[in-house]
A and B are shown apart, each in its own frame.
Chain A
């Protein structure tokens, strides 16, 4: 909401000299957040200038600038012409323009000084409307004879242009929260300003100031001959009828040529509305002034009676924005005689009954509509208007006759017509419900000691009627303009707000003491720290993907991972799905880093992925009531499973070359090692299964699994086709693990055992086995055969070559034995080693070399 200060002053006694900044600060205190300040940010000298000479000079860059001599009178202290460089061309020698001289400041704190440019010293600037904050488009230099019309007559060079252009006028823009619809009017804003500062307030719905004199705004009572209006509603929403008040007034004999006066046009413009025609402008003016949307119909085009009713199924309407809309039975309509649809109630009028250039008699509508009905219609038709914005937040139901009266008076004064004595005031509005209120509640909620008297005073300040019962309990009736005040806490907020939130003390509560981080939270941190320690960088990627990414990753048509949660309104149609694995988006970060010149990049991401469950729908029971357990369970069950994953991707070098020696390219062993580091970090032992899985190289992928076979994840090198499709370097390696599995597997208290103080004994064996046998299987046999004395086994060399059969490989293992209670003898070690060899021979036909 834009609040022109000059307009605000009409309704609240704003002290002289108060700046927009100060008013904004005063409004913030009562909950109207500043969105912006307009005007008042130009500092002179800003003067009228006459262009004496204008010399175009072509520059090396092809641009032509004008070297101008401008008469600025005595404003520059010398009376000599001012030399100014100007890049625009929409003016000519002899024109009156606006000149800002050195020392002046333009909006945006743009300080003007004489500066050297294009080979001249430019002492100031010839201003465009954009530069002065007067226009949003760069339509060039202001030529005052065009800009001011007749008002430009008699202007003298050197004259102050700030008041001339209205640049001394300030407008404060505030954000109005959805509960305070009444602040979408100067009436509401001025009231809040008065609450904040104590300034005297004059309600524009009750009093007008005309020619400096206060005058009561008195709406006449309804007459039997008022324009006929029928309010119908066979299907009220939640028991609320669509329209509970409909006031009409008629003004006849308007001059169709009558223009909106400059003062009104200025106020409308400053408030952010475009002046259109007298009838429309007056309607908008009334809405901005008091908050009541009104409508003016061409009386000649309405037969009557006005019938307000819900739409029929399939009924159509072309709205003022030239869109034909199919209506819903919940939509509330204003109709002429029940058949011709004049508009969507509270949202937008239709084209048929619009006031035109020939209209002389108007029918004025000021009605009160159900907020819910208007909100749904506005949402359904994606049609938000100044009217709907106010109605869906709640308009003061007592306002309609007063607003209509204000509109009638203005139309008569400005359009030269006469008010018809016939007045309609149909419907019955409900009065605000009294609230039973314990006056100790504000103190209990806010922590400030408010006396009962203070509570009463504050509530009365905002317009409530307060009565006290014998038990001290108050009965508080909110004012008609505050439909948001319904409960005790609502009143608590008013008490705290008007008394001032700054009076609330700071007291640290004593929580009962918690359990600290959960195991899952600790694991997440541990894993992240371990990976960073291993040389990987944590990144966060957006979770949105598209089917083409699944293609890039080589996922088969029936791959479960293609089955993803889809967004109904994605930001991009290219990426409407929620990723089912982190590796679907993580390579983007790798590519970005490489694109920016990084060479050795290793990244990880920890986040949830989304697995769509059955196409279940979640019930959406309403507010304020706990759903029963079955419904709650249904809601929870419909939320897709979202396991926590960790994914890794790397390319380049894991060890760099440099003055210290050679480096080493990151390869799949690094990645499998990192995947193990994750498991080691949380103390979970995993097994490896050579496997094939997209997006990995079919021969370079390993599945990591718990001892019970539960899959933890996969690590490997990306498939060459995937590498190509993703545009990442050859031999890029990657892994993805399910952290939830590791969290569950590590959620136990690890048991320690005493360490042996006896020396270890080593023994090496080399086993020849067919190449078809995996290293891991041979190692497992060796481990099993060696028995309990084996402390560790390490595959330290693999040989394939001339000295053994073509289909054979020789695997060299280092075995380390140790007993808990004694130093092992050579015989014991040899026996265990031989048993290991024998087991490998039995399992895989291994032969010791």
Chain B
């Protein structure tokens, strides 16, 4: 018996008890006149010899089969010790006890040896089987291919999760969108050059008032109209511009829009939110930079850059290839929500003020995960996905 480890249940892999059990044959009837000294089988010297023979045979058994033969020969029904045992019954009562003890001890000794050897041989066999069953697993058995999520949707989810972690909620809006939501609600006047600069896909007929949304910003207006202020909502989604596909442009791309409308929100809060998002996505402690800009739906407006996570703006031997040596990476646009946007959505600009921001998901992915070519993101090549796993 192997020693039990404390606290473990006994789950003995091999049964060992049977090996030591004696098979008893028929026994002679009692004979009160029998003299043990005169029965040669019960002669102590003979028994001693039987034991010696048995132990030698057991020790010599090199396999379970040989041990089995030794058991039959030395502990089986017809073995000398079994015969001796059978003779005990024929002894007079006065002699039975001593002869019984002697034979019993002898058989015990033999059985003990059998059991020990049995255990040893079984252990050897078990070990041999494990060796024989060994498989070479050094070449990957890719029997069932494993799939992958797309890095872009994973990036969008990661960005959304950061916002959720800050207590924001995630909203969606339609890709085929009303022109009013895409432009007018966001203070893009029909005649303003900014509206012309959006390279918009129009749904036929062109005066249908329906476009493919050029940014996720209509999600701002939809959320505000549906839910009112205060509101902290991020809108990731697919957007469209009439750009031909190349290494840095795609007509179909993704953005994440953020909108917070509450009492007392300032550009400092905007910056704090962006700093957190940049840190979570690109590296702890990274800061963002705001540069004056113009967007119809924000005033004041800013372009935002995040600190280059490679050089962090510190001098390098060769110009930093990630940021081109400027120390900053362009990320998107942002600003304080224009009063006209709040009014169009039924929010009182005298009471509430808010900030909004938007950035490209592709761009975030490309910088975060070191991609040079936009086309790889949209081609759907499974080798592209496979580089990233299910969590990027």
Q: Which of A446, A513, A618 has the most chain B CB within a 10 Å cutoff?
A: A618
- Chain A residues within an 8 Å CB radius of B172: 521
Q: A379 contacts B196, CB within 8 Å? A: yes
Q: Which residue of A lies closest to B150 (CB)?
A: A538
Say whether A325 faces chain B, with CB atoms less than 8 Å apart.
no
Determine, out of B64-72, B98-106, B342-350, the stretch whose residues face the partner at the interface.
B342-350
Say whether B205 faces chain A, with CB atoms less than 8 Å apart.
yes
Q: Which residue of B lies closest to A495 (CB)?
A: B300
Determine, out of B28-36, B38-46, B179-187, the stretch whose residues face the partner at the interface.
B179-187
Contact with A along B50-79 (1 / 0, CB 8 A): 000000000000000000000000000000
- Knowing A511-B260, A512-B232, A589-B380, the reply to whether A567 touches B204 (Cβ < 8 A) is yes
CA distance A654 to B144 in the complex (A): 6
Contact with A along B164-190 (1 / 0, CB 8 A): 101111101011111111011101111
CA distance A523 to B142 in the complex (A): 29
A to B CB contacts below 8 Å, 11 in the list: A31-B294, A375-B196, A489-B299, A490-B299, A492-B299, A501-B292, A507-B271, A517-B164, A539-B382, A540-B252, A593-B380
Other A-B pairs beyond A375-B196, A502-B290, 9, CB < 8 Å:
A31-B291, A178-B192, A509-B265, A517-B160, A533-B147, A541-B380, A571-B242, A638-B209, A663-B143
Q: Which of A509, A588, A604, A658 has the most chain B CB within a 10 Å cutoff?
A: A509
Q: A542 contacts B170, CB within 8 Å? A: no
- Chain A residues within an 8 Å CB radius of B209: 617-620, 635, 638
Q: A660 contacts B141, CB within 8 Å? A: yes
- Interface residues of B, Cβ cutoff 8 Å to A: 139, 141-150, 152-153, 157, 160, 164, 166-170, 172, 174-181, 183-185, 187-194, 196-197, 201-210, 212, 225, 230, 232, 238, 242, 244, 251-252, 260, 262, 264-269, 271-273, 275-276, 287-294, 299-303, 336, 338-340, 343-346, 353, 377-383, 385-386, 390
**A659, chain B: closest CB distance, angstroms:** 6
- Knowing A514-B167, A663-B143, the reply to whether A569 touches B201 (Cβ < 8 A) is yes
Q: B178 contacts A532, CB within 8 Å? A: no
- Knowing A568-B203, A626-B344, A626-B346, the reply to whether A540 touches B189 (Cβ < 8 A) is no
Q: A504 contacts B170, CB within 8 Å? A: no
8 pairs of A and B residues whose beta carbons are closest in the complex: A447-B268, A31-B292, A511-B167, A618-B209, A493-B300, A539-B380, A589-B380, A177-B294
- Chain B residues within an 8 Å CB radius of A444: 264, 266, 353
Contact with B along A555-585 (1 / 0, CB 8 A): 0000000000111111100001010000000
Selected contact of A446 from candidates B145, B146, B267, CB within 8 Å: B267
Say whether A66 faces chain B, with CB atoms less than 8 Å apart.
no
- Chain B residues within an 8 Å CB radius of A607: 238
Contact with B along A363-407 (1 / 0, CB 8 A): 000000001100110010000000000001100000000000000
Q: B300 contacts A625, CB within 8 Å? A: no
CA distance A263 to B197 in the complex (A): 34
Q: Which residue of A lies closest to B303 (CB)?
A: A33
CA distance A565 to B205 in the complex (A): 10
Q: Which residue of B lies closest to A443 (CB)?
A: B266
Q: Which residue of B lies closest to A659 (CB)?
A: B139
Q: Which residue of B lies closest to A631 (CB)?
A: B180
Contact with B along A505-526 (1 / 0, CB 8 A): 1111111111111100100010
Q: A642 contacts B184, CB within 8 Å? A: no
CA distance A734 to B167 in the complex (A): 39
- Chain A residues within an 8 Å CB radius of B205: 568
**B260, chain A: closest CB distance, angstroms:** 6
Selected contact of A608 from candidates B175, B232, B273, B303, CB within 8 Å: B175
Q: A568 contacts B271, CB within 8 Å? A: no
**A792, chain B: closest CB distance, angstroms:** 24
- Knowing A571-B244, A589-B380, A656-B142, the reply to whether A33 touches B293 (Cβ < 8 A) is yes
Q: B300 contacts A492, CB within 8 Å? A: yes
- Chain A residues within an 8 Å CB radius of B149: 528-529, 532, 538
- Knowing A487-B339, A539-B380, the reply to whether A514 touches B164 (Cβ < 8 A) is yes
- Chain A residues within an 8 Å CB radius of B169: 514-516, 518
**B306, chain A: closest CB distance, angstroms:** 12
Say whether A692 faces chain B, with CB atoms less than 8 Å apart.
no
Q: B180 contacts A504, CB within 8 Å? A: no
Say whether A50 faces chain B, with CB atoms less than 8 Å apart.
no
Q: Which residue of B lies closest to A515 (CB)?
A: B169
- Chain B residues within an 8 Å CB radius of A446: 266-268, 300
Say whether A603 faces chain B, with CB atoms less than 8 Å apart.
yes
Say whether A596 faces chain B, with CB atoms less than 8 Å apart.
yes
Say whether A30 faces chain B, with CB atoms less than 8 Å apart.
yes
- Interface residues of A, Cβ cutoff 8 Å to B: 28-31, 33, 177-180, 371-372, 375-376, 379, 392-393, 444-448, 487, 489-490, 492-493, 496-497, 501-502, 504-518, 521, 525, 528-529, 531-543, 565-571, 576, 578, 588-589, 592-593, 596, 598, 600-604, 606-608, 610, 615, 617-627, 632, 635-636, 638-640, 642, 654-656, 658-660, 663
CA distance A487 to B152 in the complex (A): 40
Q: B379 contacts A508, CB within 8 Å? A: no
Q: A624 contacts B251, CB within 8 Å? A: no
Q: B170 contacts A518, CB within 8 Å? A: yes
Q: Which residue of A lies closest to B274 (CB)?
A: A506
CA distance A619 to B288 in the complex (A): 39
- Chain B residues within an 8 Å CB radius of A371: 191
CA distance A625 to B339 in the complex (A): 10
- Chain A residues within an 8 Å CB radius of B207: 617
**A614, chain B: closest CB distance, angstroms:** 12
- Chain A residues within an 8 Å CB radius of B269: 447, 507-509
Q: Which residue of B lies closest to A192 (CB)?
A: B292
Q: Which of B276, B293, B382 has the most chain A CB within a 10 Å cutoff?
A: B382
Q: A178 contacts B147, CB within 8 Å? A: no
- Chain B residues within an 8 Å CB radius of A448: 268
Selected contact of A624 from candidates B150, B181, B187, CB within 8 Å: B187
CA distance A528 to B152 in the complex (A): 13
- Chain B residues within an 8 Å CB radius of A490: 299
**B321, chain A: closest CB distance, angstroms:** 12
- Chain A residues within an 8 Å CB radius of B386: 537
Q: B292 contacts A30, CB within 8 Å? A: yes
Q: A445 contacts B353, CB within 8 Å? A: yes
**A695, chain B: closest CB distance, angstroms:** 19
Q: Which residue of B lies closest to A644 (CB)?
A: B172
Q: B184 contacts A623, CB within 8 Å? A: yes
- Chain B residues within an 8 Å CB radius of A447: 266-269
- Knowing A506-B275, A571-B242, the reply to whether A618 touches B300 (Cβ < 8 A) is no
Q: A502 contacts B166, CB within 8 Å? A: no
CA distance A444 to B266 in the complex (A): 7
Selected contact of A33 from candidates B181, B238, B291, CB within 8 Å: B291
Q: B300 contacts A392, CB within 8 Å? A: no
**A490, chain B: closest CB distance, angstroms:** 6
Selected contact of B251 from candidates A376, A487, A542, A600, CB within 8 Å: A542
Q: Which of B188, B252, B292, B343 has the most chain A CB within a 10 Å cutoff?
A: B292
- Knowing A447-B268, A504-B268, the reply to whether A603 touches B242 (Cβ < 8 A) is no
**A769, chain B: closest CB distance, angstroms:** 34
**A18, chain B: closest CB distance, angstroms:** 18
**A725, chain B: closest CB distance, angstroms:** 20
Q: A532 contacts B148, CB within 8 Å? A: yes
Q: A529 contacts B390, CB within 8 Å? A: yes
- Chain A residues within an 8 Å CB radius of B139: 659
**B278, chain A: closest CB distance, angstroms:** 10
Selected contact of A372 from candidates B178, B191, B242, CB within 8 Å: B191
**B261, chain A: closest CB distance, angstroms:** 11
- Chain A residues within an 8 Å CB radius of B288: 506
Q: Which residue of A lies closest to B330 (CB)?
A: A33
CA distance A622 to B184 in the complex (A): 5
- Knowing A178-B197, A448-B268, A640-B176, the reply to whether A489 touches B260 (Cβ < 8 A) is no
- Chain A residues within an 8 Å CB radius of B242: 569, 571
Q: A512 contacts B210, CB within 8 Å? A: no
CA distance A180 to B292 in the complex (A): 12
Q: Which residue of B lies closest to A531 (CB)?
A: B147
